[in-house]
Amino acid sequence: MANSLFLPYMSSRSGRGLLLPILLAGLLLCPAAREQGTESAGAESARLAIKVDQVGYPVNGPKVALVSSPATIFEIRRSSDGGVVFRGNLAPPQSDPDSGDQVQAADFSGLRRAGIFYLAVPGVGRSWDFTVGKNVFAHAYYMAMRAFYGQRCGTAVDLGPEFPGYAHAICHQQGEFHPSSGANGPRDNIGGWHDAGDYGRYMVNSGISTGTLLWAWEIYGRKLKNIPLKIPESGNGTPDILNEARWNLEWMLKMQDDDGGAWHKQTSEHFSAFVAPEDDKLPSEVIGTGAAPYKSTCATADLAAVGAIAARVYQPYDAKFAARALETARRAWAWTEKNPDVTFRNPPGVTTGEYGDASCKDERLWAAAELWRTTGEAAYNNFFLKNYAEFLPSLDSPPAENWASVAPMGLWTYALSSRKDADAKAVAAIRERTLNAARAVVERTRRNPYRVSMQAKDYVWGSNGVAAGYGIYLLIANEFEPDNSFVDAARDNLHYLLGRNTFSLSWMTQVGEHSFQHPHHRPSGDGKQPGPWPGLLSGGPNAGRQDAVLAALPKDLPPAKVYADQLASYASNEICINWQASLVFLLAGELR
């Protein structure tokens, strides 16, 4: 047990994977090595017991670290020379049923000085380094956004001198219709982002991911506008976040059939081996539902929603593209009117991700709301007003939104629009429910020993996306009614992702001193690079245990602990564009 469970975390810093077994062997061999080994293992375990956001804390905000080994006082010390800059008492222990840990808070909000620090806890040891600074998440934002560039399909990718060797040759240049699509012959549809650790491209997940990035732009554009991402389009006059999102949008537009419907996905029939993108030679198939009308309503409505957002967002930069996106969105919408609920299941012989959904009504709500927000046309408004009320209760259980449930996007976009023809009653209901639920989340987050909004039920496949989703929810509430408690609680969930968690692990590759190392990600797992591709968010703990690695963990593990930093754990350690996009949104909210 100890081995399968703990070795991965202990060995997660580059080089440590080798170091630990060597130290253990040394322990048996010579007393000197034993002493050294014990000390180093102790130092490591202290760092695991003292959980900090390994990126850092804004100078003017709350600053809390968490300690899961009994102690009474703590100090904040400068990393450069160990000088003490702050002293405090640890709060009394709180027991956290979700992780099984006893946690004590170290509140150093009183430290108002920028720098690189660590936490020293007498009797325990020291933490990883972290930064206190004004715009402390700027680099993490850059890394998270650039990760999308790394996921680009149909082109060669190279992260450049900053990350030498992180490159892949042009991939997936050929495509064809699968019999389930109702068509046959070649259909290249080159482009888009690889969804995750696999090389599939899926419309539904593309919809929420691209939509989330475009929303980040709409809400935080002022801050994002001038951040260069060092991508091939940089300097073309369009902000880079929009350049990157367009890469995927262009592929999404190509997934539309002549009748306006969109095929559900483009993947091989089964997942490829763990090879580099350019070495995956399985035919890339445009896959449909297997029977007329072949396209799915969820995919088509998501295309309509995202196309409608794109029409507003790209207007100032490329009016022709904006018009094309709007035309696509309108035709997609019209298709869903004729085919209001064609759901998708994998057709026989296809075993890649399903992104199946029991109902596409929420996707249609989102599409109508975005189309109305863009065009102001009464037909879209009428559809929204006829249907929104049944989705209001979804706002009562945050984060509510995920790839299968996009009703919150529909409701929020309606309430966030500043259109004069907005229905006042609808807007008030949406705002009020969001604010009430957000206030409850703030309270819960304050009480939670790990200061997360997560509840036991939230540790599902992609739980890190759930944590980020709480952050989004709170930041949207903050748009309705600015309130620091919303922003602070959103940041608490970010802290969790960046190291303030039971594993003292940053779930962003190459961000933080102790970040996860073995994503289920084919380009990282093909052995060509020294470590994982940078900037990627892990799926996170998953009590559903839908892979063999998780299934083999001790039966009585609490939900927040059901995680393994192992390549084979696709149910807890895969990277994916939807939770990546949620992370970007959260980080964008933090930019100064």
Residue 513 in tokens: 């001193």
**In this structure, what is the dihedral angle of CA atoms 137, 492, 403, 178, given to the nearest 10 degrees?**
50
What angle in degrees, to the nearest 10, is found between the helix axes of 577-590 and 138-150?
Answer: 150
Cβ of residue 571: shortest distance to ligand G3I, in angstroms? Answer: 7
Tokens 């929204």 — which residue? 384
461 binds, options ligand G3I, ligand 9MR, Zn ion, none, Cβ within 5 to 8 A by partner type: ligand G3I
Q: What is the spatial distance between Cα 503 and Cα 45, in angstroms, rounded to a whole number?
A: 10
Phi, psi of 97 (to 5 degrees): -65, -30
Closest approach, Cβ 24 to ligand 9MR, in A, equals: 29
Q: How far is the CB of 134 from Zn ion (least distance, A)?
A: 39
Number of residues that bind ligand G3I (CB under 6 A): 15
153 binds, among ligand 9MR, Zn ion, ligand G3I, none (CB under 5 to 8 A by kind): Zn ion
Footprint of ligand 9MR on residues 13-72 (CB under 6 A)? Answer: none
Let me know if 17 is exposed, middle or buried by CB neighbors in 10 A (0-12, 13-18, 19+): middle
591, 42 Cβ separation under 8 angstroms: no
By C-beta, is 274 or 335 nearer to ligand 9MR?
A: 274
Least separation, in Å, of the C-beta of 263 and ligand 9MR? 19
Residue 570 interacts with ligand 9MR (CB under 6 A): yes or no: yes
Our CB check for ligand 9MR shows the closer of 205 and 256 to be 205
In the range 190-209, which residues lie near ligand 9MR by CB under 6 A?
196-198
Closest CA to 109 of 76, 72, 62, 42: 62
- How many CB atoms lie under 10 A from the CB of residue 159? 21
| Region from 6-14, 91-99, 335-343, 568-576 binding ligand G3I, contact rule CB under 6 A | 568-576
Greatest Cα pair distance in the chain: 81
Written as six digits, the tokens of 317 are 């930069």
CB-nearer residue toward Zn ion: 277 or 525: 277
Q: Does 523 bind ligand 9MR (CB under 6 A)?
A: no
193: nearest Cα among 237, 140, 155: 155
Distance (Å, rounded) from C-alpha 492 to C-alpha 496?
Answer: 6
Euclidean distance between CA atoms 404 and 297, whole angstroms: 12
Site membership for ligand G3I, residue 196 (CB under 6 A): yes
Q: How far is the CB of 169 from Zn ion (least distance, A)?
A: 10
Nearer to ligand G3I, 195 or 492 (CB): 195
The residue among 72, 110, 118 whose CA lies nearest residue 93 is 72
Spatial separation of the C-alpha atoms in residues 142 and 146, rounded to whole Å: 6
Angle value at C-alpha 469, between 309 and 515, nearest 5 degrees:
115
- Could you identify the residue written with the tokens 């995927």? 248
- Told to check if 574 binds ligand G3I by CB under 6 A, we report yes
Instruction: Write the interaction track for ligand G3I spanning residues 373-412; mark x where CB under 6 A is met and - where it is not.
Output: -----------------------------x----------
354 binds, among ligand G3I, ligand 9MR, Zn ion, none (CB under 5 to 8 A by kind): ligand G3I
410-449 as b/e, with b when 16 or more CB fall inside 10 Å?
A: bbbbbbbbeeeebeeebbebbbebbbebbbebbebbeebb
Q: Are 591 and 223 in contact (CB under 8 A)?
A: yes
Return the number of the residue (274 or 391) whose C-beta is nearest ligand 9MR: 274
Instruction: By CB under 6 A, name the one of 107, 544, 558, 568 that touches ligand G3I.
Output: 544
Q: Does 461 contact ligand G3I by CB under 6 A?
A: yes
Q: Which of 148, 180, 200, 202 is nearest to 404 (CA)?
A: 202
Residue 133 · residue 59 · CB < 8 Å: yes
Residues 265-304 that bind Zn ion (CB under 5 A): 277
What pairs with residue 267 in β-bridges?
285
Which parts of 158-197 interact with ligand 9MR (CB under 6 A)?
A: 196-197
Listed in order, strand segments (DSSP E) in 184-339 are 201-202, 265-267, 284-287
From ligand 9MR, Zn ion, ligand G3I, none, interface partner of 585 (C-beta below 5 to 8 A by class): none
Number of residues that bind ligand 9MR (CB under 6 A): 7
**Sites for Zn ion among residues 114-153 (CB under 5 A):** 153
Closer Cβ to ligand 9MR, 99 or 266, answer by number? 266
Q: Decide whether 153 or 562 has the Cβ nearer to Zn ion.
A: 153
**Beta carbon of residue 271, minimum distance to ligand 9MR (angstroms, whole number):** 4
353 near ligand 9MR, rule: CB under 6 A = yes
Q: Closest-CB residue for ligand G3I?
A: 353
Stretch 297-326 residues interacting with ligand 9MR (CB under 6 A)? none
Instruction: Collapse the DSSP code of 175 into the 3-class scheme (helix H, G, I; strand E, B; otherwise coil) and give the result.
Output: strand
236-275 residues in contact with ligand 9MR (CB under 6 A) are 271
Q: Residue 344 and residue 261: Cα distance in Å, rounded?
A: 13
For ligand G3I, which is the closer residue by CB, 300 or 573?
A: 573
| Smallest separation, CB 36 to ligand G3I (Å) | 40
d(CA 277, CA 171): 6
Residue 543 Cβ, how far from ligand 9MR at the closest point, in Å? 16
Position among 198, 240, 302, 401 found at the interface with ligand G3I (CB under 6 A): 198
CA separation for the pair 214, 221 (Å, rounded): 9
Out of 462, 499, 519, 559, the residue judged to bind ligand G3I by CB under 6 A? 462
Which residues sit at the interface with ligand G3I, rule CB under 6 A? 195-196, 198, 200, 353-354, 402, 460-462, 544, 546, 570, 574, 576
Which residues sit at the interface with ligand 9MR, rule CB under 6 A? 196-198, 271, 353, 570, 574
Which residues sit at the interface with Zn ion, rule CB under 5 A? 153, 171-172, 277
